[in-house]
Amino acid sequence: MTRFRNRTAIVTGAGQGIGAATAALLAEQGARVAVVDLRTDRAEAVAREIRDAGGVAAAFGCDVTDEAAVTETTGRVVEEFGGLDILVNNAGITRDNLLFKMGRDDWDSVLATNLTSVYLCCRAAQKYMVEARYGRIVSLSSRSALGARGQANYAAAKAGIQGLTATLAIELGPFGINVNAVAPGYIATAMTAATALRVGSTVEDHQERAAQATPLRRVGQPREVASVIAFLASDEASYVSGQTLYVNGGAR
């Protein structure tokens, strides 16, 4: 497929879940993909799978909360692939707790990983995108941005992404850079499985309850988010910018 022919993409947190599905889909559709993850071994496994399937991918171990590491990794990707067209800010964590039990470390780490990292990666990427007068940035917000019990840190970070997205669309638009976000509902990944176990449920029961609260009566799959990210990263979405698109099975 030629949708992303001659395009280079960075996908952060691509060692598993939505990020891995996005990396695989962009590669299937012709992009050269930098698979970035905290864990180099996981990034390597995803990149190898993409290459085995005939795609172009390389693994980069990088902590997206580390400013120097983000700058260096972005530079290495540009050097290796000869440019940077697409940035998918996907890396994220949860550290849920009710406010009165939420320690400062859980607040700080969630804000750093889910929000500050997006600022760092966008700032590093825009340098190359502005020069090329072309870019597509897609960041992972969440339905939780609208409010979610036990997720004051995560909801604040994911709502912050929506404000950052709207603002960067204004600042970077004149340079041919589109900036959008997707806000998934419940997607079956290691993140939601860990939440299930933490609240004393089985993964199956937790998913079933989420499905019953969703108009489509099922939870989402990583590939269903990846396909929306791919649309926003493509030239089919060339006049869409500053938007947050909810991918949540119709939940309000």
Of 3, 49, 63, 224, the one binding ligand NDP (CB under 6 A) is 63
Give residues 165-194 in contact with ligand NDP (rule: CB under 6 A). 184, 186-187, 189-192
Contact between 217 and ligand NDP by CB under 6 A: the answer reads: no
CB of 174 to ligand NDP, least distance (A): 28
**Apex 8 CA angle, 7 and 12, nearest 5:** 140
Which region among 26-34, 51-59, 86-94, 237-245 touches ligand NDP (by CB under 6 A)?
86-94
* Binding map of ligand NDP across residues 123-142, x = CB under 6 A, - = no contact: -----------------x-x
* Binding map of ligand NDP across residues 99-128, x = CB under 6 A, - = no contact: --------------xx--------------
- H helix or E strand, kind and range, residue 20: helix 17-28
Say which amino acid occupies 199: V
The residue (of 93 and 129) whose beta carbon lies closer to ligand NDP is 93
Contact between 19 and ligand NDP by CB under 6 A: the answer reads: yes
Catalytic residue (choose from 128, 134, 154, 186): 154
- H helix or E strand, kind and range, residue 175: none
CB of 31 to ligand NDP, least distance (A): 19
CB of 175 to ligand NDP, least distance (A): 26
Of 8, 29, 90, 244, the one binding ligand NDP (CB under 6 A) is 90
DSSP characters over 211-232: HHTSTTSS-B-HHHHHHHHHHH
Residue 93 bridge partners (DSSP): none
Structural contact between residues 38 and 62, judged by C-beta atoms closer than 8 angstroms? yes
- H helix or E strand, kind and range, residue 53: none
* Share of the chain residues as helix, strand and coil, in percent rounded to the nearest 5: 55, 15, 30
**Apex 124 CA angle, 134 and 9, nearest 5:** 55
Secondary structure class of 78 (helix, strand, coil): helix
Catalytic status, residue 154: yes
Whole-angstrom distance, CA of residue 87 vs CA of residue 138: 6
Of 46, 47, 64, 172, the one binding ligand NDP (CB under 6 A) is 64
CA 94 to chain centre: 14
So which residues are the catalytic ones? 154
Residues that bind ligand NDP (CB under 6 A): 12-13, 15-19, 37-39, 42, 62-65, 90-93, 113-114, 140, 142, 184, 186-187, 189-192
